[in-house]
Amino acid sequence: MPRKKRIWYPGAIYHVMNRGNRRLILYNDEEDYLSFLESIQVTARLYTFKIHSLCLMTNHFHMIVETAETELWRIMKRMLHPYAVNFNRKYHYTGHLFENRYTACLIEDERYFLEVSRYIHLNPVRAQMVSNPMEYEYSSYGSFIDAEWCYGEKTAEYISEIVDTSRILDYFGHDSRRQYREFVEGRISHADQERQICSQMHEDDMWLPK
């Protein structure tokens, strides 16, 4: 069972989410998405951690983060603060860009780990932004399904460098990319798990992009 905790230890895995303050947009254009991904890259050069899944929506983001020697709060502060400063400067805004520091749920169960990854990659479908998760470019789903997904697209190249797909794909053994796609897009109901994740992250329909 996942638990919300402000604890840290090496190898801890978290489902992390943050939202735009007052439900406002976090990314207005392609440049903003790339700027956020660059902020993650810079943070990864300073601290050792892994991102296992990622999806940047218009007014919030989800990611699975595995820590090593550095506490999660240090990683997230270094990742989010520079982006917020640059965003406010670009658009001549003042005040907080993000609603709060972030929301993090400790993942201690392997099955739940996979369910969170599925939930993250289906976020754009649930928001009715796309009909298929492969169509959404600001998500790591493509790097799980197609080894050549990143070629020719700058955003995809950034995401492929940032996200480590190996741990999740290893759970699926032979032909893991196809099996993971079936797990995410299959018709088996995951309603109970999705409700649990929504409850843990305090996410509801009001947070879906308009």
* pLDDT at 164 > cutoff 70: yes
Rank 10-19, 44-53, 92-101, 189-198 by mean pLDDT and report only the highest: 44-53
- The pLDDT score that the predictor gives to residue 203 is 67
Average pLDDT over residues 195-209: 60
Round to whole Å and give the CA distance between 38 and 51: 14
From the candidate CATH numbers 3.10.20.740, 3.90.550.40, 3.20.20.70, 3.30.70.1290, the one assigned to the domain spanning 13-205: 3.30.70.1290
What is the DSSP pairing of strand 13-19 with strand 49-56?
unpaired
Average pLDDT over residues 174-193: 84
* pLDDT at 7 > cutoff 70: no
Residues in CB range of 104: below 8 A, 6 or more apart: 4, 14, 15, 16, 17, 65, 72, 76
- Model pLDDT for residues 12-60, shown as the tens digit of each residue: 999 999 999 988 899 999 999 999 999 999 999 999 999 999 999 999 9
* pLDDT at 1 > cutoff 50: no
CB 140, CB 147: distance < 8 Å: no
What is the DSSP pairing of strand 13-19 with strand 103-107?
antiparallel
- The pLDDT score that the predictor gives to residue 26 is 96
pLDDT, averaged across the chain: 88
What percent of the chain has pLDDT above 90? 70
CB 5, CB 103: distance < 8 Å: no
Of 52, 43, 58, 41, the closest CA to residue 16 belongs to 52
- The pLDDT score that the predictor gives to residue 123 is 94
- The pLDDT score that the predictor gives to residue 3 is 45
- The pLDDT score that the predictor gives to residue 185 is 94
Locus of tokens 């754009």: 124
* pLDDT at 4 > cutoff 70: no
- The pLDDT score that the predictor gives to residue 173 is 85
Confidence of residue 153 (pLDDT cuts 50, 70, 90): confident
